[in-house]
Each structure stands twice: as C-alpha cells, then as structure tokens.
Structure 1
Amino acid sequence: MDGKELYGRELTRSECRSADEALLALTEKRPGLVSANGKLTCARCGNQERKKMQVAPCSCGAACQYCLSCLNMGKIKSCTILHHLPETNSFAWPQEPILQWKGQLSSEQNRASEEIVGTVLCEGTRLIWAVAGAGKTEMIFEGIAACLGKGGRVCLASPRVDVCLELAPRIKQAFPAVPLALLYGGKEEGYSYTPLVIATTHQLLRFREAFDLLIIDEIDSFPYHNDASLQFGAQKSRKKASALVYLTATPSVVMQNDIKRGKLEATVLPARYHGFALPEPECRWVGDWRKAINKKKTARFLTLIRRQLQKKRRFLLFLPHIQLMEELDGWLRELFPDKHFTCVSASDPDREEKVKRMRAEEYDFLMTTTILERGVTFRDIDVIVLGAEDRVFTEASLVQIAGRAGRHKDFPTGWVCFAHAGETKAIQGAVRQIRSMNRDAGRRGLLNGPVSVLPK
C-alpha cells in the first residue's frame, strides 16, 4: 500500500496489511473507541449506545470493549488504533472534456442540473426530489464534472448494492477518462485511489474527510434512513468544506418539513423526463392470498398473472417475504410449465445475473422482494405487488415500486396493480402521492402524454 491508498481513508492496522512501518509512522492516529463526557464513542461509526458495546477477552491481553454497530466492517476495540492520511487530491486530473455524455436534458432536468452545479460551487447542501423515472442520474453529470474540473474528489453513494451496480456503467460511460472505484461488501477487487468513487453507504465508514462532493442516491432507502451510524459515516467522509446532494423520489417527513421551514434547499421535479404521467396504481382486493399459496388453492391473484401472460406483457411480481415467494415459485412452475421466470432476493448470490437476464427480456416475469423496489430500470414492464397490505410495503416503498413502470421514453406507460387483502394507509398514501405529483406536473404544463390506462 502506498500513501495514496490511505488518503482520505481511516483504517485499522489489519486493513493496512501492505503498508510498511515507515508509512504508518506518517499517519494520523486516534483510538478506535474514544471516551468523552462519560460516554464511549466508536470513532468509525459514531455509536455511543451501551447496548451496542460488548466486552470480550482480546489478543492484546486485556478484556476489551468493542463496537457492535459496525462489527460487519471488522472489530473496533478499545485497543484499536485508526490510521489516516489527509486527503490531498493528488490523483492525475482528468483531461477535458471530463464529461462525454452526448444526451440532451429536458428543461426540468436542465433546471435541476444548473442548481446542482450551483450547490457544488458554493459547497452547499441540496435535495433533488424527483419522481421515479425523472432521470436523476443524468441531472448530476454536470455537477460531478464541475467538481472534478476544479480538482475535487467525488463520491456517489447509495444504501443498495443493486443501485451501485446499476449506476457504475452509466457513470463510466459518461466519464470514460476518469478513473472510477466501485466499492461494496464482498467485492473481490481491492480498493484503489481514484477521483471518482461509487460506493454503498456502509463503505463510507472507512473514509474520513475525503470528498469534495458527496451525492447520496435513494436517501430514504433501507438501511440508511434509520441508521444513525451510516449517516455519521456519510458526514465523516466529507471534507469540512464540501457539497452534499441528496437524491430521492420519496423524501422523509423530516426532510419535507425542513424544506418548508427553509432549512434545506430543494429542487422538486414532479414529472418524468419523457413528459408522460406516472402510472397510477389500480388497487385490487384478492382475498387471503397467503392461504391460497400455502394450500395451492384457486386464487384471485392468479387471474392477474394469467392475463399478463396471455397478453405477453412482461412484469415484476413483488412479494413481501422470501419464503412466500419461494412457495409461490414452486406452485407457478406447476401451473405454467412453459413459461420462463425466476425469483430474486437480497440473499440470492445470483441476483445480479438474474436482473441482467430480465433486462435482456429472457424472462416472462420476475418475482422479487423489495430488493428491486428502486434503482433498477427495465425497458417495458408492468408491476404487480402481491400482499401490498403487508407492513413491509411502506408508502415510500409502494411509490418506488410503482415507479418501475413506464420509465423508458419508447415505452412511457405501464400498468401497476396493488393486490391486497385489505387497503392500508400506506396503499392509500402511495396512490395519493402519485396522483398529487401528476396533478402538479399537469398544472405546470410538464405533461405531454396521458395517465396510463388501467386494463379491464
């Protein structure tokens, strides 16, 4: 490990395996667990909760406390020393033109892009609140280029691995001459020092004052939105003077209130880049669908699946739990032996390959948990949520799932169905939010196509 690989990073000695003692002697050092005001704090993730600290015999010969909050990143113990070299932006500056994307932004995308550039130049904070399918990725290109152009370092982070995997080739295509590192848990390739980084929010815990621009995509997504350690890590990864841009289609109530009170600058885009309205979900009562799966009994929801297959309409079928999905997978193979489909979840080691095959239109449909609720785009797709009443499906989750349909400019409409055993506030809130965005877009003259027509 040379010095560059420690710039802007904060690592334990075991994570600096290839660093020699001469280099380590030059690093800034601080304890992994710091005691202040009677509280023990993890320097890596900021955890101060006693219930998330444990004591155990240690190789140092003492009984050391260690942090449970970021244990999946390796132990931070009482005897741990963290090593850090201040970020110097010593990478080779990319040659002009930095941005080589040849596409064209819509007027609304361009407005957002200009406001992002302004935020980058003044080192401010901004939320981009844009409906699913608005083209958020393209909006950030000029902001990234502006930061790189002045010798800055940029990180694009997301809580979801799938989102990072989706973003990486698009960013690489737009910035082909800029070295890029893709970081997520379980990735085989090691870390390399680059001006442009795409990472899961967990990986930000290993950075300290590294980035001149931090963009966090899907800010409301699990696990980031309710994990104080990940939020601490994101702030720690930024330089003291830096820009922060949040991206989401479904900001939290706290963020919405901050916008109203003037505490957070925001750019709101209620329409998609192609000018068609968001597909408005149809809510269908399907009775006790769980019992139907368990007993393999005739079920109302099978009518929805049969209709899609008869019309040769490819679709995503969302379910709330892996076990139910796997049971349904077996039953549907008996009912539709000639159809091509599979199921995918966060625990599936082949999920990346399955998503690629769905995108290549090799499947008639794909069953999935909420792992595909956001960050993935398919060319021409419908959506069914089976068990939309389950508490796994929050209002934000249902809005994001509905946003999988009608994203492509050549296929800007689609059918979305919330199949349920009883309407919930989340279902009603999601439908209300989607209709509200469509009304707002219509009032602002941003729609040039109709609302998706629901099938009979």
Structure 2
Amino acid sequence: MGRVSECSELISWGGEDRKSDGNAATQRLNGNSDGTRTQSMQEDANTASRANSLNSSADVARTQSMQEGTITASTHILNWEGTLSPAQQNASNKLVHAISSNEQLMIWAVCGAGKTEILFPGILHALQDGKRVCIATPRTDVVLELTPRFRSAFPQTKVLSLYGGSEDRGKISPLVLSTTHQLLRYYRAFDVVIVDEVDAFPYSVEPMLQYAVEQARKETSSMIYLTATPSRKLQKRYPSVVIPARFHRHPLPVPRFEWCGNWAKLLLKKGKLPRNVYEWVEKRIVARKQAFLFVPKISQIEVVVKLLRAIDLSVEGVHSEDPQRKEKVAAFRKGQVPVLVTTTILERGVTVPNIDVAVLGAEDDVFSESALVQIAGRVGRSPKYPSGDIVFFHYGKTEEMLCARQQIKNMNKVARKKGLIDDDRTK
C-alpha cells in the first residue's frame, strides 16, 4: 500500500457539491510524493499521526487546481443485462434510498449473494445525480478483481483503481475503487462511500483506516457497508438489510471437520503432510479440479508447496509479502495453477467457478469464525458449480470452527424459511 508521508498527496473537494448540470470539479493537491507502506502496526500508527497532521494543516498547505471532465446525467450508462433476485432487489432498493437520502446502511449478505450486482442500480443513480462514488476495501486483491467488472458495467464512466503501486494513485474520477489505505490521500472528496468487506483485516482492527474512510467522505454523504460476517458491534450500530442466500438459489456448502493429528509437528520435524491432507490434494489434481489449501503461517507455505509439487509441478504458494502475488493469483484465476497454497490473505476477493477448499490447521488462532466463514464462501459460488467440498483439517475442534459452521447452517435455515433456496442438500 502507498504509505502516506508528510508530503503525500491529499485530495480534497474545496467547492460546492457538484450538480448534474455538468459543472467541473476542483480538487486541492497538497504535496507531490508517494512512499511505500509496510504492514507493521507501528508503521500504521506513524501513518495515522501524519494523516492527522495533514488534515489539520490543509488550510495552509500548497494547493493547485485540477480540472475533471464534464459530467452530465447522460454520460453514465449501466451495461449489465442480468436480473436481480427478489432478495437482491429488496437490498438494491434500500441502497438507492440510502444514497438518495445521504443515509447509512449495512448490507449483510452471504458470500456469493451477488453483492456487486446489488450495487449497480445505486451507483448508476448516484452518478446520474452528479455524485462521486468510492468503493473502498481493505484488500488489494479485491480491488483488482472488482475493477474490470465495474469498467465493463459502466463503460462510459472513468473508473480509477487505487492501491499500492497503482498508476491511478492521487487522481480523482466519478467512480473510484480503492484500498482503504489509499483513502488517506483524500479529504471530503466523495458523496457516496461503499466499504466492501468492512469486517476484513486490517480495516476491522486499525482505527487509522476507519479514520481514512470517514475523512474521505463529504460531510453530507451516504455511507454503505457490505459484509458477509458483521461483528455484533456492526449489527447493533447500523440499519441493515439481510440476504441469507446466494442468487443461484442453492444452499451454502457446509464445512466438514476432519482430524489430521499433530500436523504442525509432522511438517516441522519430518517434512511431511498428514496422509489424509496429501490424499485430499492429490484427488483434486487427478480430477483436474482447482483447490485452495489454506495454512496458518507464511513460513509453512514453502514446505507445503514443495511436498505437493511431487504430485504436480504447477502447484503454487502465495502470501502477503510475495512480490509475484498478483501474477500468481491471475494464473490461478486462468486455471493455470491447480492448487494454490495460501494464508488468510486470500480468504476473500478471489473467485474461481469450480473449486474445492481445505484448511490445514483450522484450530489455529488465525482462523477466526469470520475468516472460516469467508474461506468456506469460496466454494459453490457459480450457478454452474453450486456445490463443492470444504474441509477443515484440524488437531482439535475450536469454538471458532463450530461457530463458523453453525453460522452457515443458520443462514441456510433462514433462506429456506424465506423460500430463497430450492433444494435441501444442506442439513
């Protein structure tokens, strides 16, 4: 992520709100350089301090104006011919109302419910009303996945993609997709801010990022939160609409638990994987079905990948510090990588149509209820492949594992009661 320093760009909206009659927008730019952000909490604390300094001194900072292309209501069109389900349509209607009324709303939708499509009508409404929209997310991978979808859906709208290393950093447009870190550069710039995966690390635990989002929105604006796993605090804090089923009307795949012994000791001392884990992966490779294998620690990825390459040399591993992360994920999406060994960095944001998922060491503290629900949510997202295997290999069940499975079962129960799923394969 781009680290905000004393001389980083801070973009603010300094004039009256834009109207749909095509008035140009003016931005203030403070400073002209960009740094590199590390992921340590100490660096984050330093960054937050600098961000506070930037905002408090914005009135005296050097500014220069920058013109944005003329925007009229007729400029923006939605190029999407899909049909929303009744549950999606209900959420979409409430979203449009929240945007029109400058209100807050939380959309609580299960993984694979079609949250992106739900946003389309509301975003179009905002754009045609002359509003500037930002979709923010804690993860770079999510920005990279969403950007081409929004550029396709809004072909006549300039869509910027902001993340560490992006060429668009420091720019402004009617529709912006950004990591929450990059919003430290913007001040009172957006009429609508949509925070996707509001429960995700590091946004959920870093006040600096929450501050960045708040400062990036205009004083009169709407704030929309999207999540599949809201905390109890979020559930109490914001009005919400719940979508308990996927758009294709199949139930959520429920994780199964499988004991694998002291796998960590076996991996460390003998350089081996538990037999049932190895055979699970081997079966997927032979069947030519892609799979995720999640492990608790970055240090374990290299060892596991080396062992699995005895089955297929195309097996890859990826983590947050991997310089080839973007390329490896892209290759996985294209089907060039049969099995991707990873950490919770990919618990969300990467969608593959036909996939199975396993967690090695599901009892580890890093696998929270939220993380496990998200991981399970990778499976069965496509209407063509609505089911799949999700297994938690463990050395002892944890409350987080049990709660994650129960949450998924509860959503299926609610969806069934509301008539939102058609079959009864999930018990």
Match of 1:209 among 162, 171, 188: 188
The 2-side partners of 1:237 and 1:91 are apart by 22
One-letter code aligned to 2:125: A
Range with greater deviation from structure 2 (408-417 or 362-371): 362-371
The 2-side partners of 1:277 and 1:77 are apart by 47
Q: What residue is the counterpart of 2:280 in the other structure? A: 304
The 2-side partners of 1:141 and 1:451 are apart by 31
The 2-side partners of 1:254 and 1:181 are apart by 32
One-letter code aligned to 2:159: L
Match of 1:69 among 29, 47, 69: 47
Distance change >3 Å, CA 120–CA 451, structure 1 → 2: same
Cα distance, 1:75 vs. partner? Answer: 8.8
The 1-side partners of 2:303 and 2:413 are apart by 40
The 2-side partners of 1:329 and 1:74 are apart by 43
| Alpha-carbon displacement from aligned partner over 1:203-253 (angstroms, at most 9, x marks no partner) | 111111111110000000011111111111111111111111100100011
Range with greater deviation from structure 2 (245-254 or 292-301): 292-301
Q: What residue is the counterpart of 2:7 in the other structure? A: none
Task: Please tell me whether the aligned partners of residues 271 and 441 of structure 1 are also in contact (alpha carbons under 8 angstroms).
Answer: yes
- Listed as ranges, the matches of 1:327-338 within 5 Å are 327-333=303-309, 335-336=310-311, 338=312
One-letter code aligned to 2:380: G
Q: What residue is the counterpart of 1:166 in the other structure? A: 145
Is the partner of 2:367 in helix, strand or coil? coil
Cα distance, 1:350 vs. partner? Answer: 1.6
Range with greater deviation from structure 2 (345-354 or 212-221): 345-354
Cα distance, 1:348 vs. partner? Answer: 1.4
The 2-side partners of 1:84 and 1:126 are apart by 34
Task: Please tell me whether the aligned partners of residues 413 and 452 of structure 1 are also in contact (alpha carbons under 8 angstroms).
Answer: no
Q: What residue is the counterpart of 1:13 in the other structure? A: 31
Cα distance, 1:130 vs. partner? Answer: 0.1
Q: What residue is the counterpart of 1:396 in the other structure? A: 370
Task: Please tell me whether the aligned partners of residues 208 and 238 of structure 1 are also in contact (alpha carbons under 8 angstroms).
Answer: yes
Identical aligned pairs, as a percentage? Answer: 40
Is the partner of 2:373 in helix, strand or coil? helix
Q: What residue is the counterpart of 2:224 in the other structure? A: 245
Structure 1 residue 386 corresponds to structure 2 residue 360: yes
Cα distance, 1:70 vs. partner? Answer: 3.5
| Alpha-carbon displacement from aligned partner over 1:322-361 (angstroms, at most 9, x marks no partner) | 111111111222x31x452101111112222212211111
5+ unaligned residues in a row in structure 2: which ranges? 1-9, 15-26, 35-40
Distance change >3 Å, CA 146–CA 375, structure 1 → 2: same
The 2-side partners of 1:168 and 1:291 are apart by 42
Q: What residue is the counterpart of 1:292 in the other structure? A: 266
Task: Please tell me whether the aligned partners of residues 181 and 191 of structure 1 are also in contact (alpha carbons under 8 angstroms).
Answer: no
Match of 2:300 among 324, 327, 333: 324
One-letter code aligned to 2:364: D
Cα distance, 1:255 vs. partner? Answer: 1.0
Task: Please tell me whether the aligned partners of residues 389 and 421 of structure 1 are also in contact (alpha carbons under 8 angstroms).
Answer: yes
User: What's the TM-score, normalizing by structure 2?
Assistant: 0.86
Task: Please tell me whether the aligned partners of residues 89 and 151 of structure 1 are also in contact (alpha carbons under 8 angstroms).
Answer: no
One-letter code aligned to 2:117: E
Structure showing greater Rg: 1
- Listed as ranges, the matches of 1:66-145 within 5 Å are 68-70=46-48, 82=61, 91-93=70-72, 95=74, 98-145=77-124
One-letter code aligned to 1:303: E
Q: What residue is the counterpart of 1:408 in the other structure? A: 382
One-letter code aligned to 1:161: T
One-letter code aligned to 2:112: G
5+ unaligned residues in a row in structure 1: which ranges? 17-50, 54-65, 259-263
Q: What residue is the counterpart of 1:356 in the other structure? A: 330
